[in-house]
Amino acid sequence: MSCEHLVCAQCAHPVIEGRCPLCRASRERMHQHGFAGLSPAAVVALLVVLLFVSLVLNHLFGV
């Protein structure tokens, strides 16, 4: 979903322009990316670390 076609209820301008505090807050909320507040790069790095740990555990314990 994008905010390009949304109109603010407070200032009656497009949300994408961010003319009032409500517009700016809504625009920021809609443009957040990532998982649990983490950037996409941090999520990928965490997944790589988890994969590495699981491979080490599998090698050590033969699970």
pLDDT beyond 60 at 55: yes
pLDDT band at 48 (very low <50, low <70, confident <90, very high): very high
For the chain, domain boundaries: 1-32, 35-63
The pLDDT tens digits for 16-40 are: 888 899 988 888 887 776 677 777 7
What b/e readout covers 13-49, taking b as 16+ CB neighbours within 10 angstroms? ebbbebeeeebeebbeeeeeeeeeeeeeeeeeeeeee
* Whole-number pLDDT of residue 27: 83
